[in-house]
Chains A and B, each alone.
Chain A
Amino acid sequence: MEKVLVVDPEKCTGCRLCEQVCSVWHEKVVNPYRARIKVVKWEMEGKVLPMVCRQCDDAPCMEVCPMGAISKDSETGVVAIDYDRCIGCRMCVSICPFGAMSYDFAGNKVIKCDLCDGDPQCVRFCDAGAIRFEDKAIVNEDTRRKAARQAMDALN
């Protein structure tokens, strides 16, 4: 069963706790720069949007990697980096259309969300419930309903 991170921007308070726990879990330091999740804010408009890796099926990062170091796990659906093969060329970072990957200058490596081995810390610590870890099928259903609602709004 494939599970993905689902973001509900309306619930997000912009506290950025997710960034901190992410860096602690992966790098053992509190350093939002080294986090896999990034919260984008529009301060003037008072809007926030946590950006996460989509774990795409046909992931551009996977396609573009010259060493074939990125692969999608058929069971968990995680698009993971094999650091044995990665050469740090950052092509994947450049090509990701969501800007979901980044380069960790302190650790000299590219970083991307790996869903914390099935227990995403951002989900665990988000008190507002803005990030959920859900089955892909449910997400699709939700998205469909949301889109339909928007279409209805537009029609009305």
Chain B
Amino acid sequence: MIVEPNKNKSGKNRCVINDARDELIGLWSGSNPGEARKLLARGAGVLTRITHGQELQRPVKVLEDLVFSLKKSPSSSCFAAASLIEELLNHHKDLLFSHISDKECSAGICFFCFQENIPPCQRACPAGIDIPGFMTQTGRGEFQDAVEIISENNPFPYVCGMICPAPCEDACLRNLFDEPVFIRPLKAVAAKGAANSKGYPEPYTAPLTGKKVAVIGAGPAGLSASFYLAKKGHEPVVFESEDEPGGMLRYGIPEFRLSREILNSDISWITSHGVKIHTKERKKEIGKLFKEGFDAVFLATGVHLSRKIPFKGNDLAHVLSGVDFLKKVNKGENPVVGPDVVVVGGGNVAVDVAMAALRQGGKNVHMVCLENSEEMPASFHELRAATMEGVVVHNSWGPFEAKKDHTFESIFCKRVFDENQRFAPVFDDTRHMTLKADHLIIAAGQAADLSYLETENEIDTTTGLIWVDKYSHATDREGVFAGGDVVTGPNIAVEAVKAGKEAAIAIDEWLQQQQDKSESLSRSSLSPVSHPLLPNTQAGFSNTKPRLSNFYTRHLSHSTGSTHSANFADSTGFTDSSQPLRVTATHRMEEKRAVLLEQNPDVRKKNFFPVEFELDPEIAAAEAGRCLRCDICIGCGLCQFVCSEMGVDAIKLVKSGTGRFVISDFKNISDKCISCGACGEVCPTGAITLVQEELLKRTEFTGTVMCENILLKCSKCGTPLMPGKYYDFMENNYCSKSGCNESLRLCYSCTRQESADKEKRYFI
């Protein structure tokens, strides 16, 4: 079974230590200021250190001390916390030790965010783009570097900046207290900025290997695969049956969403890496390709056929297929529809069809879809654009009958999915709705044209799609790989990019193995290889991870850096993406999500110019400043616990659903912070740094100054001492007891001198 550690929080796998931590955090957050709260904070901090794999010199003693002091406290929550930790010490000692010394969690929950410091947006992005990294570079105006970072995982920076539904924005941790960072258009800003200044990054490829790979289909999957194959030094040749490359990007997405210049510029950059594209080339038999000298084949033919939905009259002449309609529009064949058009379907394709229908003669365009408004798969901003243009959406209606008199009858759908989230619509026979429909366009369901695989017995196509191994993207026929819509069914472009990229890595590995095999064959007898594709197929996730890791590592190497890396980012012109942007706290906290201006809906519904204007680079930079840099901050919460343990409680974080802590309130910090430096000391990744400059002590969180305090001076020699706020805090809370605060005004060498002077009088 494949264990995906980040997903099983609610499932069967639980880690006792992590649970204890959660409970302790709960107790801590419910407590009132005072000694008990400090102790609970310490407990939460210690357990966090254990679950995040940090060094403790004497962990058992630390825990025992903690239990001892918790038990002394009269508070009931302290007692509960003490028994929690005692239970760990008494009954789960083995688990505790495996966590502390081996940094291993049998449930696979702990250490995850620390080892794989991948921020939520990057995790949500199917292609796995280093989103904070590229946004930082975009904000700096280093557009070429930003494109370089994007292209490590996605060769379509400009295209995805226009059309990606941006699953990353749903995962953005700003959602917890604000709107997410507007990630999607920043890619377009980076790509446009690069194209207008230094150009896209220079094509770089590994030394040529002499291996040829045939790629069938020049859609996003095929082009991505060939891009990364070319980067690895292979020679990809793409065969495309249409006139021009781009696949669904060109023939499925209308021009008003993605202009052809943008698509062409991304494709020409891909071809500049040595990718050859043969257009107007019919799909060949795979056997023939191998005979022609190709070493491997990648199938990315997509889903270009419309699936027929069963309802009465679905074969009438005025019932059109959505895919064919869009293809005709995009080829410039100018099909005329309307004036009354009904589009069946609730996905992004249906929205595109509806908007295209408006531009092709439709006056009254209605969308009819089975799902209710929450279940609808279309992305919100596209749907909004369509409704603004006058498209009427009818949720929860299913197709019933298309009649010859150009009317369309639909039936009310009570429920689309059953308890197991499987598609099982239930209709209400009593409720019907009739709409006028000169044309009925069916934009629900697409199918793959697999006729070219008919002679192939080895490749499994029983489901109507090509079956491949989940990780290697290999079909059952050796040397043949597949990916994109033809494997997954209709899906978003960036999923196809992911498939292409992963397949390229797998093909590269496979070619390497073939090479090794033939070399060792010629030398000596060969021991049989059990599975030619994956050397370590037994254990799932952890073994497939290294394959992707080379794409991730570059921008993650900073995460283990020292705590006190000063802010030399801007002063010396050092511009690595790991150096966060310098942003003020007010900006980071209060700046609202950027707004993308659109053409006036009444005007745009008659033309094919882009619906959305592009984001201004300055606004884009401001938007990039809203990013909280979750790649540097891992959200462990140690800073908040230590701040509470100090009795200051300046840092207050918001907890996300996955247990991450997110900084949201900079104002509370600057009001209460005494610049003690505890947060910077405990921060394991260097997200919080302390900078001392002459008489100022600054606490910074990934490029934002959270708090600035003036330091006191030694009353004798003038050496900077502690911040004034800190002095007051200490004097009020501690020094009244010890009564030796006169030495507080002196630096330690002056104190020593004074004390030695006193002693001299007696002894020498």
Contacts and interface: CB of A to CB of B under 8 A. Distances in A.
Given A40-B753, A51-B756, A90 B735 contact: no
B608 interface: no
Most buried by B among A67, A89, A100: A89
Contacts of A150: 762
A2 to B, nearest CB: 21
Contacts of A9: 760, 763-764
B494 interface: no
Interface string A88-99: 111101111111
16 contacts: A49-B759, A51-B755, A64-B734, A66-B730, A67-B645, A67-B646, A67-B678, A87-B642, A87-B681, A89-B676, A94-B722, A94-B747, A94-B748, A97-B740, A98-B751, A98-B752
B35 to A, nearest CB: 11
A34 interface: no
Contacts of B733: 66
A81 to B, nearest CB: 11
B681 A102 contact: no
Contact of B751 (A63, A90, A96): A96
Contact of A63 (B646, B734, B746, B754): B734
Contact of A101 (B642, B682, B748): B748
Nearest to A100: B752
A25 interface: no
B58 interface: yes
A10 B763 CA distance: 8
B748 A87 contact: no
Contact of B749 (A87, A91, A99): A99
B336 interface: no
B744 A95 contact: yes
Interface in B631-686: 642, 645-647, 676-678, 681-682
Interface in A20-78: 38, 40, 42, 47, 49, 51, 60, 63-64, 66-67
B679 to A, nearest CB: 9
Contact of A95 (B682, B743, B759): B743
Nearest to B744: A94
A84 B57 contact: yes
By size class, the interface of chain B is 35 or more
Nearest to A98: B755
A82 B721 CA distance: 23
A99 B742 CA distance: 12
B722 A91 contact: yes
B737 interface: yes
A54 B741 CA distance: 18
A93 B750 CA distance: 11
Closest 8 CB pairs of A and B: A99-B752, A99-B751, A87-B678, A40-B756, A63-B738, A87-B681, A98-B755, A89-B676
B62 interface: yes
B683 to A, nearest CB: 11
Contacts of A60: 738, 740
By size class, the interface of chain A is 35 or more
Nearest to A86: B681
A93 B756 CA distance: 16
Interface of B: 56-58, 62, 564, 642, 645-647, 676-678, 681-682, 721-722, 726, 730, 733-735, 737-738, 740-741, 743-744, 746-756, 759-760, 762-764
B760 A89 contact: no
Given A47-B760, A64-B738, A91-B722, A83 B57 contact: yes
A87 B690 CA distance: 12
Given A49-B760, A66-B647, A87 B676 contact: yes
A86 B733 CA distance: 18
A99 B755 contact: yes
Given A64-B738, A94-B721, A87 B677 contact: yes
Contacts of A140: none
Given A67-B678, A90-B722, A99-B749, 7 more contacts: A67-B645, A87-B642, A87-B646, A95-B738, A99-B756, A108-B564, A150-B762
Contacts of B743: 94-97, 99
Contacts of B735: 64, 95
A144 to B, nearest CB: 13
Contacts of A64: 730, 734-735, 738
Contact of A99 (B645, B681, B721, B753): B753
A93 to B, nearest CB: 5
A89 B678 CA distance: 7
A51 B763 CA distance: 13
A93 B748 contact: yes
Contacts of B752: 38, 40, 51, 98-100
B764 A47 contact: yes
B730 A88 contact: no
B684 to A, nearest CB: 14
Contacts of B730: 64, 66, 91
Contacts of B678: 67, 87, 89
B41 to A, nearest CB: 11
Contacts of A40: 752-753, 756
Given A42-B760, A94-B722, A89 B677 contact: yes
A84 B56 contact: yes
A85 to B, nearest CB: 8
